[in-house]
Structure 1
Amino acid sequence: MSRWQDLTGGTSGAEYASRFEALARGGKDVHGEAAFCAALVPAGARVLDAGCGTGRVMIRLAELGYDCVGVDLDASMLDVARERAPRLPWFRTDLAAFDPAELGVAADFDLVVAAGNVLPLVTPGTEATVLQRLTAALRSGGLLVAGFGLDTAHLPVPPALTLAQYDAHCAAAGLTPVARFATWDAAPYEDGGYAVSVHRRDG
Structure 2
Amino acid sequence: MVEQSLWMQKVAADPGHSQWYIERFREMEREGRDLSGEARLIDAMAPRGARILDAGCGPGRVGGYLAAAGHDVVGVDVDPALIAAAEQDHPGPRWLVGDLAELDLPARGLGEPFDVIVSAGNVMTFLAPSTRGRVLARLRAHLGPGGRAVIGFGAGRDYPHEEFLADAAQAGLVPDLLLSTWDLRPFTEDSDFLVAVLRHV
2:64/2:91 contact within 8 Å kept: no
Three-state SS of the structure 1 residue aligned to 2:184 is coil
Give the equivalent residue in structure 1 for 2:37.
Answer: 32
Q: Which of 69, 76, 98 is residue 71 of structure 1 equivalent to?
A: 76
Q: Which of 56, 67, 91 is residue 61 of structure 2 equivalent to?
A: 56
Mapped pair 1:166 → 2:164:
yes
TM-score w.r.t. length of structure 1: 0.90
> Could you tell me which amino acid in structure 1 is paired with residue 161 of structure 2?
L
Return the offset for 1:180. 1.2
1:13/1:54 contact within 8 Å kept: no
- Unmatched 5+ stretches in structure 1: 152-158
Aligned equivalents of 2:144, 2:7: Cα separation in 1: 28
- Normalized per residue, which structure has more helix? 2
> Could you tell me which amino acid in structure 2 is paired with residue 103 of structure 1?
R
Q: Which of 100, 114, 118 is residue 119 of structure 2 equivalent to?
A: 114
Give the equivalent residue in structure 1 for 2:198.
Answer: 199
Aligned equivalents of 2:54, 2:22: Cα separation in 1: 16
Aligned equivalents of 1:197, 1:2: Cα separation in 2: 22
Return the offset for 1:15. 2.1
Count of aligned pairs between the two proteins: 195
TM-score w.r.t. length of structure 2: 0.91
Aligned equivalents of 2:70, 2:92: Cα separation in 1: 14
Return the offset for 1:149. 1.2
Return the offset for 1:181. 1.2
- Tell which deviates more after alignment, 1-10 or 94-103: 1-10
Kindly report the root-mean-square deviation, in angstroms, between the aligned alpha carbons of the 2 structures: 1.5
Q: Which of 132, 138, 142 is residue 137 of structure 1 equivalent to?
A: 142
Return the offset for 1:102. 1.6
> Could you tell me which amino acid in structure 1 is paired with residue 198 of structure 2?
H
Give the equivalent residue in structure 2 for 1:124.
Answer: 129
Aligned equivalents of 1:64, 1:84: Cα separation in 2: 16
> Could you tell me which amino acid in structure 2 is paired with residue 6 of structure 1?
Q
Q: Per-residue displacement from partner, 1:29-87 (whole Å, max 9, x unpaired)?
A: 11001001011112201100000010110000000011100101001101101122344
Three-state SS of the structure 1 residue aligned to 2:129 is coil
1:12/1:76 contact within 8 Å kept: no
Aligned equivalents of 1:74, 1:30: Cα separation in 2: 20
Three-state SS of the structure 2 residue aligned to 1:125 is helix
Return the offset for 1:162. 1.2
> Could you tell me which amino acid in structure 1 is paired with residue 53 of structure 2?
L
Identity %, equivalent residues = 39
2:59/2:84 contact within 8 Å kept: yes
Aligned equivalents of 1:185, 1:193: Cα separation in 2: 14
Aligned equivalents of 1:133, 1:34: Cα separation in 2: 22
2:10/2:17 contact within 8 Å kept: no
Mapped pair 1:188 → 2:193:
no
1:11/1:76 contact within 8 Å kept: no
